[in-house]
Structure 1
Amino acid sequence: MDELIDILTSEGQPTGKTALKSEAHKNGWFHATVHIWLFTSDEKILLQKRALTKKVFPGLWDISVAGHIGAGEDVITSAKREVFEEIGLELQERDLIKIGTRIHQVSHANGIQDNEHHHVFIAELKVPLSTLSIQKEEVDDIKLFDLSTLKNTENLENILLPRFHEYYCTVYNKIIKNI
């Protein structure tokens, strides 16, 4: 879905400008996203299988929930909205633990230039997967994996991306400290 987003400086400061997400990706303008990693108390991580219709990383098992922050939307509101839209889970602000913000710059073969500031959160998943409902336009499936999948150096087919291994290990370490 093409949505209106705020354009940021490379340092993550607002420019006062907005643009459609497609324009930001075409022109390489910096913007903000949220990543929410959902874990269980028994050391599992929820991963989503991205819909095959996604423009980047289609069909890949990826972050529990991720999305763009809408124009004028605050980070927490965006995180809660994305979790509810993509998997039907209603979280409260107190459930979200911010573990950092990271700069992500990737040029994709299809011309999309991702220049993003990812606001990264972890949250404990306290309900069974069977109670969740996925947004078919965004998500093909959800599944619990062993938490160690995040730090696994083996090339697991279609699970996460090896080039972001350091990021996944950081998330793993933050989750372990919170279990």
Structure 2
Amino acid sequence: MENQRIQLLKKLLPGFIPLFVFIAVDELWGTKVGLVAALAIGVVELLWIGIKEKRFDRFVLFDTLLLLALGGVSILLDNDLFFKLKPALVELILCVILALSAFSKVNIVALMSKRYLKDMTLSDEQMSRMRASLKLMFYMFVGHTLLVFYAAFYLSNEAWAFISGGLFYILFGLLFVIEYFKQKKSQQVLAEEEQLPLVNEQGQVIGKAPRSVCHSGQKLLHPVVHLHVFNQKGAIYLQKRPLNKLVQPGKWDAAVGGHIAFGEDLQTALQREAWEEIGLKGFSAKLVKQYIWESEIEHELVYVFVSHDYQSIHLHSEEVEEGKFWTKKQIARTLGQGVFTPNFEHEFKLLFS
């Protein structure tokens, strides 16, 4: 996500190049030559982007035409104030785009990102992080825009040139540095997290990812084990999820359910999860079903096991609030009432329909 934000910043920079070319040329040879140079650079940019990236960059065109319009007015009226206000006006438009993207439901920057980075998909968590970065950009560029307005009216040409040009690059550089360190910090945190295997629909491991990434809405397929425990009367042991759980708090679920760690096999994961959740150990279990389950935050390949070894069950963990046996009739007449997790109701129908 941080890389995508940095790429987007790079996409915006070309639109400001004609302005910076004008500032440099104007200092040496005057306004008219500066306008011609800016126009030439704008045309070259449009052709280069069109040939290399096969797209038309409206922002470069807008920046170049606005520069020519305000510069032309400045020459006709023999007053450079109009031209001096040009970078502030352009940046004001940028601030409006940032404000809409950061504070409203119309995320223009996200739409631009999807256009420029066609293979990019954004989860809710990534959208939230993008908005946080856009808010930072908005505050920085609003401050810079106000400085340009002030410099146009009250400061020297040299001070205005630095504030509208050099300072703008410095701010962009500062954003790059902030995003770089945020990315490094994020990578460090993710590297310390529990790693889960990523699998294809056949269960073959094709990679790995941190647990939080698997639960971020990116729908990365990862394997889990579920265990249904029956007693001698055919009743099913269920666990009640604690109220502090992120997913389905306070609802009744399969006796055991947990993720397979990276490098762990099915049986090892099943024995580990059974002990951690309901204190069950030394049991035998049979794999009876395998299916793919998708929720709002994750995408799981579920391995469903059944066991009749229930004697050693004892709750010793905060992962489970309560546990008890339910008859099939009790479960059947309670389905659809919000008592059980959707996942369990799906498996109950798979096992007994």
TM-score, normalising length: structure 1: 0.79
Kept in 2, the 8 Å contact 1:96–1:123? The answer is yes
Q: Which AA in structure 2 matches 1:168?
A: F
Q: Which AA in structure 1 matches 2:324?
A: K
Which whole-Å deviations, capped at 9, do the CAs of 1:27-52 have from their partners, x for residues lacking one?
22110000000111112111000111
Kept in 2, the 8 Å contact 1:134–1:140? The answer is no
1:122 alignment partner, one of 306, 309, 312: 306
Please list, as runs of the form range in 1=range in 2, the aligned pairs for 1:1-179 lying within 5 A after superposition: 3-15=194-206, 17-26=207-216, 27-92=218-283, 95-107=284-296, 113-127=297-311, 132-136=314-318, 138-152=319-333, 154-156=335-337, 158-161=339-342, 165-172=345-352
Kept in 2, the 8 Å contact 1:83–1:91? The answer is no
Structure 1 residues 22 and 90: CA distance shift in structure 2, 3 A:
same
Distance 1:156 1:125 in 2: 29
Structure 1 residues 154 and 35: CA distance shift in structure 2, 3 A:
closer
Which whole-Å deviations, capped at 9, do the CAs of 1:75-113 have from their partners, x for residues lacking one?
111011100011111034xx1011011100111xxxxx2
Higher helix residue share: 2
Distance 2:334 2:323 in 1: 22
Distance 2:315 2:265 in 1: 24
Q: Which AA in structure 2 matches 1:103?
A: I
What displacement does 1:134 show? 3.3
Kept in 2, the 8 Å contact 1:148–1:172? The answer is no
Kept in 2, the 8 Å contact 1:47–1:64? The answer is yes
Q: Which AA in structure 1 matches 2:316?
A: I
Q: Which AA in structure 2 matches 1:46?
A: Y
Q: Which AA in structure 1 matches 2:347?
A: Y
Structure-1 residue corresponding to 2:26: none
5+ unaligned residues in a row in structure 1: which ranges?
108-112, 174-179
Structure 1 moving runs of 4+ over 6 Å:
none
What displacement does 1:3 show? 2.4
- Which protein, 1 or 2, shows the higher relative CO under an 8 Å CA cutoff with sep ≥ 6? 1
Query: Over aligned residues, Cα RMSD in angstroms?
Result: 2.2
Kept in 1, the 8 Å contact 2:280–2:312? The answer is no
Higher strand residue share: 1
Distance 2:301 2:335 in 1: 28
Q: Which AA in structure 1 matches 2:198?
A: I
TM-score, normalising length: structure 2: 0.42
Structure 1 residues 52 and 164: CA distance shift in structure 2, 3 A:
closer
Distance 1:118 1:103 in 2: 6
Distance 2:340 2:345 in 1: 11
What SS does the aligned partner of 1:159 have? coil
Structure 1 residues 99 and 149: CA distance shift in structure 2, 3 A:
farther
**Percent identical:** 29
